[in-house]
Chains A and B, each alone.
Chain A
Amino acid sequence: MVALARKTLIHEWRRFLPAILAVGFAGLLQLLQAALVLGIFSSASIYVTGSTADLWVGYPGTRSVSLGQPINPDVGMHLRMDPAVARIEPFYWVDGNWRGVHGSGGELVYVTGIDPRPDGLMFSRALPASLRARLVEPDTVIVDRADVGKLGVKVGDTAAINGRRVRVVGVSHGLRALGGVNVVTSIDTARQLTTDPASVDHPTYLLVQLHEGSQADAVARRLRGAPGFGPYDVWTARQFARRSVLYWLLDTGAGAGVVFMAGIVFLVGAVITSQTLMAAVAGSAREYATLNALGVGLRNLRWVVLEQAFWVGALGLLGATVLGLLLLAGARSQDVPVALTAPITLVCMLLAMSLAAVSGLVAMRGLRRADPASLLR
């Protein structure tokens, strides 16, 4: 078979270049946008994804980790009776007001009180054991590298949270928070920082480790809603992480923004690509018309155009992938939060290919000019 579409694309690459670039840039924009938004909003679930708990127990209806409310610690007794449960660890969340020693600041901070032992579940992935061990000492805190400038402190400095003096003993990586600043401390210190005396003994969450992590769904269902311990709910780590990210995506309108932007990018990309393809088709109209005169059906000619669109899409996507990987690597090295999941990448690729396909369908209209009767004048 003579590969007319491919050979034409190679021979007249200059003519097709704008279309390839349009698909490529549209794909790249979608990809980067998705990576950025996911990166930013995945910090809403870093508390869950940075820890090794299988289940999270919290106040019913909690839509994001940062919106937790104290629960009755007795729930833990009920959970412990389930044979699937291996371990339970409390986690305190305290909203605090940070002041530097020189009276600077007034930053809203999210104080997370974790179990600082080496085998603690909370932030077991996000904080190395040596770092968390420093929190055993009372009134010590860890701040994130990304917030050091904002808080105006370095390791060894002191500051005040809710009026109580704390000392910075370490700097973490990748614990950037949404709408505030994460400050990690021990459970004991966090309880000291609580402004509401009623909730000193009430953790915000209970983290549960199971003997068999794979049973998380079933166990969560089983443990949910036992009477007599006050209000509480049980989620698997995966559910709760999802819930937190979705809350931010939807509540901030970022999700709608992403969809809107994706639509615009798609439209602009499709206009450029279809126009370029159409021009290419029109440029070969006489040749197509000759084929049609010789009896090659219009349907076959349409396939040639569609195949061309496919190659344009594939080449654009290839360029976008290479460039995207470079840019993402660059962003990571600069602490810009970016994250990509396989399904999102796939969706972006599908969008780029459907952009090419739509453009090909539009460009088929260029074949109308390929009227063989017009060759006889």
Chain B
Amino acid sequence: MSAREPRRATPEASPALRAEGIAKAFVSGKVRTQVLEGLSLSIDAGELTLISGPSGCGKSTLLAILSGLQKVDAGRVLALGSDLTALDSHALERFRLRHTGFVFQGFNLFPALNALEQVALPLHYLGLPDRQAQERAMQSLDEVGMTPRIHLRPGELSGGEKQRVAIARALAKHPELLFADEPTSALDAANGQIIIDILHRIARSHGTTVLCVSHDPRLTHHADRMLSMEDGRILSDRRAEPLHHEA
């Protein structure tokens, strides 16, 4: 469908993400909350991995650490072979620019920009020339089924459409790693389903490693692997039936 090559040829390749004994605590005033303690985890490339668990158990914190948005107190994070814990903030920005995409619960779109501009904006910072940025943005928007709406601003889009634009924005960079935190929780069932399908397709067709935090039970049918967390630890780690694994 697109000229894009899957980045990871086989799912058995070396893990895209590896956490080794990471610990994270938050201190507010005199209260110290140990959110993660000695957590180790390995995520394979080209898979859609789902993390679920009760509120406040540390899912978002784990995502922030694995994506290089937050520092760890102890342990190491290896992403695509780089040790994120050893990079300074500037190098982390560069790493994220080249390799990671994000989808948040809120859509976080600029009210003044239309869908095409939202998606093209980060591409300019990647150094793509105008024409190429436009083309890639169109391609991404097409992939999420937003081609008829590329000239509309967020104010003129539905919630589901906004989230699709946000996904296109993350996708247009051709990231190896895509992080999504509760991407469907602000949406109704039908729109949630569309978003899930899109994330699923991204992992399958582009070989993107998708790490998604969600409570949404519908998502479990699409995941290659399901992790459930509690109190900063991983309680269970289940793989989907091989039937879901066919390419």
A residues with CB within 8 A of B: 1-2, 4, 7-8, 10-12, 284, 286-287, 289-298, 300, 372-373, 375-377
The CA-CA distance from A4 to B64 in the complex, in Å, is 26
B69 CB-CB contact with A under 8 Å = yes
Which residues of the other chain, A, contact B120 by a CB distance below 8 angstroms?
A: 2
**Once the chains bind, are B181 and A376 in contact (CB under 8 Å)?**
yes
B23 CB-CB contact with A under 8 Å = no
Of A7, A286, A300, A376, the residue contacting B69 (CB under 8 A) is A376
Q: List 25 A-B contacts (CB under 8 A).
A: A2-B113, A4-B110, A4-B113, A4-B121, A11-B153, A286-B108, A287-B108, A287-B109, A289-B108, A290-B102, A291-B122, A293-B67, A293-B69, A294-B96, A294-B97, A294-B100, A295-B96, A295-B97, A295-B98, A295-B100, A296-B93, A297-B93, A372-B102, A375-B102, A376-B70
**Once the chains bind, are B64 and A11 in contact (CB under 8 Å)?**
no
B residues with CB within 8 A of A: 60-61, 63-64, 67, 69-70, 90, 93-98, 100-102, 104, 106, 108-113, 117, 120-122, 124-126, 130, 153, 169-170, 173, 181
**Once the chains bind, are A373 and B69 in contact (CB under 8 Å)?**
yes
Of B112, B153, B169, the residue contacting A294 (CB under 8 A) is B169
The CA-CA distance from A10 to B100 in the complex, in Å, is 31
- A2-B113, A7-B112 are known contacts. Are A295 and B122 too (CB-CB below 8 A)? yes
**Once the chains bind, are B130 and A1 in contact (CB under 8 Å)?**
yes
The CA-CA distance from A4 to B110 in the complex, in Å, is 9
**Once the chains bind, are B111 and A11 in contact (CB under 8 Å)?**
yes
Which residues of the other chain, A, contact B113 by a CB distance below 8 angstroms?
A: 2, 4, 7
Which residues of the other chain, B, contact A297 by a CB distance below 8 angstroms?
A: 90, 93, 97, 125
Of B104, B110, B112, B169, the residue contacting A10 (CB under 8 A) is B112
Which residues of the other chain, A, contact B64 by a CB distance below 8 angstroms?
A: 373, 376
Q: Which 3 pairs from chain A and chain B are nearest by CB?
A: A295-B97, A11-B112, A295-B96
Most buried by A among B90, B95, B111: B111
Which residues of the other chain, B, contact A294 by a CB distance below 8 angstroms?
A: 96-97, 100-102, 122, 169-170, 173
Of B95, B106, B125, B181, the residue contacting A296 (CB under 8 A) is B125
**Once the chains bind, are B69 and A295 in contact (CB under 8 Å)?**
no
